[in-house]
Amino acid sequence: MSKKEKKLNIKETIKNNKLYKKIKKQISKINLEKNKFNTLELLLIFVMALLLGIVAGEMIFSGRDVNNISITKKINNNVSEIESIYNTLLEEYIDEIDEDQLKDAAINGMFSLLGDDFSLYYDEQASDTLKEELEGYFYGIGVEIYRDEESGKVIINKVFEGSPADKAGLQAGDEYLKVDNIDVSTKTLSEIAEIITKGDNKTYTITVKRDNQEIETKVTSGKVEIPSVASEVLEENGRKIGYIQISIFASNTDEQFEKHLKELENQNIDKLIIDVRSNSGGDLETVINIASDFLQKEDVIVQTVLNDEVTKRYSVKNSNKKYEIAILIDQGSASGAEVLASALNENLGSELIGQTTYGKGTVQKIKNLPSGGIIKYTTETWMTSQGKEINNIGIIPTIEVELNDKYYETLDKKDDTQLQKAIEILSQD
């Protein structure tokens, strides 16, 4: 039964109540002139309000419909049955069962029934990774490492800018030798990560080899920001074209974006390319903040739909930016990337260059569990600023361009046919 039908049935039940009819008959006799009420009238109104509250409240808050079926009771019975099976298996099954694994299996079973690829359960370990992606930071020293296949050496692949490792002078290419005099050369990458815990403000002595010379330095772990935005200036036909790539919409991506955009504007860019290819989405508020950098407060960015009720989300700023914008999209552009691309296209006429996007028109909510795990579940759908549905459809580019296979081999911007098309269009007079 829909919520609308349930509300109508509740109203009919109240109207058919004998006490309700009697009180209503008395109230109809009340003299409402000048809005004055005597003691009896006030008492009748109070009783009426109390009756309405009792009847409606009992139905709504206890979960009862007009047939007096207790949803709450049914839920409690279901939970009790699940608990009974859980305890029975732990106590009586022939083999020993891991309690956490049994719990995880039960939760995953519920989510598998939904048939929704975006409603998921993350155990404690997986949730840590998800939190880092969504929050845009982690606690550590700020390096990425890998094991060289030929030599077997553990090498620092990347040092995050501004991280404790960066400040301590560690560099990409350094060979990892020791952590607090513990030889890590033969340990797995996971074991090395466990040695360097995620606890804040812990100091480690790191020994690396650079140019055949051992270097020892102290590094204190701390909060490390994960970069989700990169930018540069591309010059073509006398034009300065700003290029910004957004890899994911974490909670701090909008701050990074505005910093990069300001740096580009300080270099007097004429046009702008925003690259959201392979961007799977993220935080909707972050997307709205970024889109607002280019729109006016009366501009709609996205429309969310919950129980057939549509909510329009508007720009939170009045922008004074005048330069032309093109957006790069592909099959991996999903969710928030589609929101940003459609908002700038429908409000500003920005060209969408590349290939049809993924088509994820749903919104998920995240709930933290006492165990440290997380559940992510779909609560709403969304439409573009003009009310177009994109779920399982995607956003069609205004200029369709396939990416040259050669680019995957060279990773050279000259072989990036989609980027080159955007440069060609924006460099025209």
Indicate whether 298 pLDDT > 50: yes
Phi, psi (degrees; rounded to nearest 5) at 249:
-100, 80
Q: Does domain 229-426 have CATH number 3.90.226.10?
A: yes
C-alpha to C-alpha distance for 112 and 108, rounded to whole angstroms: 6
CA neighbor of 125 nearest in space, from 397, 371, 290, 349: 371
* Residue 74 Cα to chain centre, angstroms: 33
C-alpha to C-alpha distance for 411 and 397, rounded to whole angstroms: 23
Indicate whether 227 pLDDT > 70: yes
Indicate whether 264 pLDDT > 50: yes
Q: For residues 97-117, give the mean pLDDT.
A: 89
CA neighbor of 179 nearest in space, from 209, 207, 218, 199: 207
C-alpha to C-alpha distance for 155 and 173, rounded to whole angstroms: 6
Provide the pLDDT confidence category of residue 384 given band limits of 50, 70 and 90: very high
CA neighbor of 193 nearest in space, from 138, 130, 131, 137: 138
Provide the pLDDT confidence category of residue 328 given band limits of 50, 70 and 90: very high
Lowest mean pLDDT among 57-61, 78-82, 371-375: 57-61
N- to C-terminal Cα separation, the chain:
60
Phi, psi (degrees; rounded to nearest 5) at 287:
-60, -45
* Residue 317 Cα to chain centre, angstroms: 22
Q: What is the mean pLDDT of the chain?
A: 84
Indicate whether 124 pLDDT > 90: no
Provide the pLDDT confidence category of residue 189 given band limits of 50, 70 and 90: confident
Give the C-alpha distances (Å, rounded to integers) separating 235 from 82, 354, 413: 64, 21, 13
| Sequential DSSP letters for 109-155 | HHHHHHT-TT-EEE-HHHHHHHHHHHHTEEEE--EEEEE-TTT--EE
CA neighbor of 273 nearest in space, from 325, 215, 333: 325
**Tokens 């729109």, located at residue:** 295
Lowest mean pLDDT among 218-227, 242-251, 333-342: 218-227
- Inter-residue contact 214 to 233 (CB < 8 Å): no
Domain boundaries, the chain: 1-97, 137-225, 229-426
- Inter-residue contact 159 to 172 (CB < 8 Å): yes
C-alpha to C-alpha distance for 403 and 200, rounded to whole angstroms: 43
Q: For residues 206-231, give the mean pLDDT.
A: 93
The type of residue at 361 is: G
What pLDDT does 64 receive? 40
Query: Which is the CATH superfamily of the domain at 137-225?
Result: PDZ domain (2.30.42.10)
Interacting residues of 144 by C-beta distance below 8 A, sequence separation 6+: 156, 157, 158
**Torsion angle of C-alpha atoms 231, 235, 240, 246, degrees rounded to 10:** -20
Lowest mean pLDDT among 77-81, 290-294, 356-360: 77-81
What pLDDT does 81 receive? 83
Q: Which residue has the higher pLDDT, 313 or 33?
A: 313
| Sequential DSSP letters for 153-222 | -EEEEEE-TTSHHHHTT--TTPEEEEETTEE-TTS-HHHHHHHS-S-TT-EEEEEEEETTEEEEEEEE-E
Q: For residues 105-130, give the mean pLDDT.
A: 88
Indicate whether 50 pLDDT > 70: no
Provide the pLDDT confidence category of residue 30 given band limits of 50, 70 and 90: very low
- Inter-residue contact 280 to 332 (CB < 8 Å): yes
Q: For residues 388-412, give the mean pLDDT.
A: 94
